[in-house]
């Protein structure tokens, strides 16, 4: 068998956006407004008032686009969250 280098999957490039979003959790009974600042096929960058009480996994909704994805937090800092779609 011949040795071949393993292809590394390219990370999806996020595009800058400015969209109203909603973080939904607790089976849809709890929601927090957010601003979607960047978006790709693999994840998003969100701006929030406070990350207190936001679970590690939640659903991100962008109602204007009919967008809904299950997310997991990958980075939390102050008023910003980076998430990947799962």
pLDDT band at 9, cuts 50/70/90? very low
Q: Which of 36, 32, 37, 68 is nearest to 52 (CA)?
A: 32
Mean pLDDT over 77-84 rounds to: 94
Query: Structure pTM?
Result: 0.83
Q: pLDDT for 63-79, tens place per residue?
A: 999 999 999 999 998 89
| Domain locations along the chain | 15-85
- Is pLDDT above 50 for 7? no
Q: pLDDT for 23-73, tens place per residue?
A: 999 999 999 999 999 999 999 999 999 988 899 999 999 999 999 999 999
Name the superfamily (CATH) of residues 15-85. predicted glycosyltransferase like domains (2.40.10.220)
Dihedral sign computed on CA atoms, order 68, 63, 78, 31: negative
């Amino acid at each position: 068998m011949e040795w071949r280098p393993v292809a590394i999957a390219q990370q999806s490039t996020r595009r800058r956006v400015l969209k109203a979003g909603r973080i939904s959790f607790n089976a849809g009974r709890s929601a927090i407004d957010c601003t979607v600042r960047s978006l790709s096929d693999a994840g998003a960058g969100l701006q929030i008032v406070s990350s207190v009480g936001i679970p590690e996994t939640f659903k991100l909704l962008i109602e204007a686009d009919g967008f809904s994805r299950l997310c997991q937090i990958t980075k939390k800092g102050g008023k910003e969250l980076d998430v990947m779609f799962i």
